[in-house]
Amino acid sequence: MLLASAVVVWEWLNEHGRWRPYSPAVSHHIEAVVRAGPRAGGSVVLGQVDSRLAPYIIDLQSMNQFRQDTGTLRPVRRNYYDPTSAPGKGVVWEWENDNGSWTPYDMEVGITIQHAYEKQHPWIDLTSIGFSYVIDFSTMGQINRQTQRQRRVRRRLDLIYPMVTGTLPKPQSWPASPGPAAAPPAAPCSCPQCVLVMSVKAAVANGSAGPLQPPAARKHMPESGMVKMPPPPGPGAKPLDSTGTIRGPVKMVPSQAIRRQASSTPAGANAVSPASPPGANGKTGRVALATLNRTNLQRLAIAQSRVLIASGVPTVPVKNLSGSSPVNPALAGITGILMSAAGLPVCLTRPPKLALHPPPVSKSEIKSIPGVSNTSRKTTKKQAKKGKTPEEVLKKYLQKVRHPPDEDCTICMERLTAPSGYKGPQPTVKPDLVGKLSRCGHIYHIYCLVAMYNNGNKDGSLQCPTCKTIYGVKTGTQPPGKMEYHLIPHSLPGHPDCKTIRIIYSIPPGIQGPEHPNPGKSFSARGFPRHCYLPDSEKGRKVLKLLLVAWDRRLIFAIGTSSTTGESDTVIWNEVHHKTEFGSNLTGHGYPDANYLDNVLAELAAQGISEDSTAQEKD
């Protein structure tokens, strides 16, 4: 446990593994429910503080966010940050997306930008924390280092996130910020690998490749937060001199990225002693090494690696020399040189190539899938039966409760013995009526269930907000499009004994309908046609058949805001994961993946689609 003060930021995990912060107002609301204890019922209704979040409920017991109209579950967390950092001052940094709206940066990125801004640096390079962007404070622009594309950024003031003081759980993140309020750093690890990483970090901060030293011996090393920024891209740009070094939070240093790229040191490497690179003699050799450019550093390191390989010494891979990761290519080269100099074998390799698509396939090689009719299917728009009011729909699934228990309704958080606390458009039922769902037995105000139904797709189905049981046939809001599927004569990694099922989704841009977020407004459709792959095994064909049901029920895609680009009113995946890499798994969306088929079956089941669904569709 750690005794300190901190600001609390509640965050949710998107499908790309990044933690996205809730707004200060929403975090205050969640924190108030947490502090209220068991009396609050253990659930947080986000629509009470932000109408845009009306479908969302947070279950504090499981730490999950539940979307009532789609059944989507996402992890949430309560994270701690330094009270002197951006969230503790109510500062929010945002970038402008393609449709002109503003998207906040991840909290770690916003803190890093704010720290550089407070130090009055002209710009900040975000490469060290995993993003290929430069923020230019003079123009308030974001520059993509690879494409040179520019976007506007802005700094605005909002509420300060809630503050806590006392014992904080140690495992939860709290990025330190330099200054008097920062907690003293923990003692560094003394294992050879960590000693090496700290030495590389110090060498880069000094701008030289000096000898490796244990942390205890580096009395005059700069602080671990020192990062020297390369000049921003653009014509006429000049590099900063030594005064251009900026100091950022400890998490900015790319040593963690290096640690992820290198495996543990070979047996026998128990200590790291100061040493010079082969062929270098003392200070002269080190100065010459520091003057080498990136290409020469890589060539030297690779040549040393080849000597090690030829001598039969085990090697440690240091990948991503192409610059596709947070590790700067020059830093990777220096790492290899220093590891070799310290007697630690290293082999510099390039990352495997991304293989999104299979080899070319002729039309004669494409075959239909046995047991699956046709080779394509278009979206059929299914609506709820006309004449059915929400009250009439819910009546099929509910039993009235004359004597409700003295507990909370987890939708409005009021006692079931009291009238509903819902304050939106008024349903026609009385606010004090209580009903029990017939299959799962959970009890709610009928008034609240009608309001929840009206906020959803109004398709004649209902999903219990507590246990996620689906009543009726759930459908989605997927826009019109086409789904094609066939066999190709190639095997997926991990499935050498079978061919591959290729699925091609095609959805054009169009105008949103009444069931979409912004009726009458145009929507975009990026990245189509999208190619996806399944093994042609028994379980792979089962998944395909259920995906066809999901397609017919309009559950594969939706219209919303892209968590990748921040673009709103665009076609996005709808919580049923697909494999879009054919011959690799560099993005996590490829093969081999031993658990994928089971996972996607579970995701389809959460949408109310199982083997019984195929029989229902035939009926």
547 and 422 housed in the same domain: no
What DSSP element (H or E) covers 347? strand 347-348
Which of 24-33, 154-163, 342-351 bottoms out in mean pLDDT, i.e. has the lowest?
342-351
Q: Give the mean model confidence (pLDDT) for residues 364-370.
A: 93
12 and 67 housed in the same domain: yes
Whether 409 is covered by a domain: the verdict is yes
Which of 214-228, 302-316, 574-588 bottoms out in mean pLDDT, i.e. has the lowest?
214-228
Whether 224 is covered by a domain: the verdict is no
- The first and second tokens of residue 299, run together, are 């060539």
Is the pTM higher than 0.75? The answer reads: no
Whether 572 is covered by a domain: the verdict is yes
Q: What are the CA-CA distances from residue 540 to residues 200, 366, 502, 544, 545 (Å)?
A: 47, 17, 11, 6, 9
pLDDT, tens digit, for every residue of 571-590?
999 989 999 999 888 777 89
Residues of the chain above pLDDT 70, percent: 65
92 and 149 housed in the same domain: yes
Residues of the chain above pLDDT 90, percent: 34
454 and 587 housed in the same domain: no
Structural domains in the chain (count) = 3
Choose the most confident range, by mean pLDDT, from 145-149, 379-383, 411-415: 411-415
399 and 500 housed in the same domain: no
486 and 551 housed in the same domain: yes
State which of 125, 149, 165 marks the end of a domain. 165
pLDDT, tens digit, for every residue of 446-489?
989 988 888 877 888 898 988 888 999 999 999 999 999 999 99
**CA-CA distance, 408 to 94, in Å (whole number)?**
38
373 pLDDT exceeds 90? no
CB 579 within 8 A of CB 591: yes
Q: What are the CA-CA distances from residue 147 to residues 239, 588, 619 (Å)?
A: 20, 24, 52
413 pLDDT exceeds 60? yes
Which domain does 452 fall in, by range? 390-458
423 and 485 housed in the same domain: no
Whether 336 is covered by a domain: the verdict is no
User: Per-residue confidence at 541, pLDDT binned at 50, 70, 90?
Assistant: very high
508: which residues sit within 8 A by CB, 6+ positions away? 480, 481, 525, 528
The CATH number assigned to the domain holding 509 equals 3.30.390.130
448 and 491 housed in the same domain: no
The CATH number assigned to the domain holding 64 equals 3.30.720.50
Output 131 or 251, whichever has higher pLDDT. Answer: 131
pLDDT at 22: 94
257 pLDDT exceeds 80? no
pLDDT at 296: 55
CB 116 within 8 A of CB 133: no
418 and 498 housed in the same domain: no
217 pLDDT exceeds 50? no
Region label for 40, one of left (φ > 0), alpha (ψ between -120 and 50) or beta (otherwise)? alpha
Whether 543 is covered by a domain: the verdict is yes
85 and 156 housed in the same domain: yes
Q: Give the mean model confidence (pLDDT) for residues 405-431.
A: 85
Whether 66 is covered by a domain: the verdict is yes
pLDDT at 385: 47
509 pLDDT exceeds 50? yes
Output 214 or 606, whichever has higher pLDDT. Answer: 606
pLDDT at 148: 82
State which of 165, 197, 225 marks the end of a domain. 165
The CATH number assigned to the domain holding 425 equals 3.30.40.10
350: which residues sit within 8 A by CB, 6+ positions away? 319, 321, 322
335 pLDDT exceeds 80? no
pLDDT at 324: 43
**CA-CA distance, 186 to 549, in Å (whole number)?**
54
Whether 355 is covered by a domain: the verdict is no
Whether 170 is covered by a domain: the verdict is no
Q: Give the mean model confidence (pLDDT) for residues 126-153.
A: 88
State which of 137, 165, 193 marks the end of a domain. 165
Output 178 or 33, whichever has higher pLDDT. Answer: 33
569 and 431 housed in the same domain: no
401 and 546 housed in the same domain: no
Q: What 3-state DSSP class applies to 86?
A: helix
